Structure 1
Amino acid sequence: MNTNDVKIYSGNRFTAQLIEGKLNEVGIVPIIKDESKSARLAGFAANMDGALELYVREDEKEQAMRIAKTVSAE
């Protein structure tokens, strides 16, 4: 991630994957941050609640936020 990336969603894995799919359909490729997977790979115990964070570039933020809100409302 770089400093121009902004978080558009934080929450359950299922909704995050739905949002990711909709973003990909319009050509936006989000960065997916999965703390539990990162911790597990590093050998640390982690909360396995399945929460993910989605980040996009600053210039894609408005469109991505609209998509995230629409999917979250469904």
Structure 2
Amino acid sequence: MTNSNYVKIYTGELIVVQRMVSELEKLDIIPVLKDQTDSGLLPIFGSSNSIFKQVYVHKDELDTAQKVVDAISSELEELQ
């Protein structure tokens, strides 16, 4: 997403990304997800439960989206 109007705000496991997407959509922010899986390895090793995704949002929504990421990240840190 070089030279685009989108900014990466998070990279992480699918379950956390799904939570972030849900929270962002409640604020009318529609994120773009990018899969970090090397699909060329899937036929050899099979699928993984630990698939990483990148979350991008439009630059105009960055401030609001970052607050969501920070809140969820804080909750996860408290659980550890």
Q: TM-score range by the shorter chain?
A: 0.7 to 0.9
Matched with 2:19 is: 18
- Cα RMSD (Å): 1.8
Bigger CA radius of gyration: 2
Matched pairs, number: 69
How far off its partner does 1:35 sit?
Answer: 2.3
Give the whole-Å Cα distance in 2 for the aligned partners of 1:8 and 1:70.
Answer: 13
Is 2:66 aligned against 1:70? no
TM-score, scaled relative to structure 1: 0.82
After superposing the two structures, state which structure 1 stretch, 46-55 or 1-10, moved more: 46-55
Q: Which runs of 5+ in 2 are unaligned?
A: 76-80
Q: Which runs of 5+ in 1 are unaligned?
A: none
Q: Is the 8 A contact 1:15 1:72 kept in 2?
A: no
How far off its partner does 1:11 sit?
Answer: 1.1
Q: Residues 1-74 of structure 1: matches in 2 within 5 Å?
A: 1=1, 3-36=4-37, 39-40=38-39, 44-45=40-41, 48=48, 49-74=50-75
Give the whole-Å Cα distance in 1 for the aligned partners of 2:73 and 2:21.
Answer: 12
Could you give the per-residue CA deviations for residues 17-50 of structure 1, whole angstroms, max 9, x where no partner exists? 10100000010000001121xx43xxx1158431
**Percent identity among equivalent residues?**
30
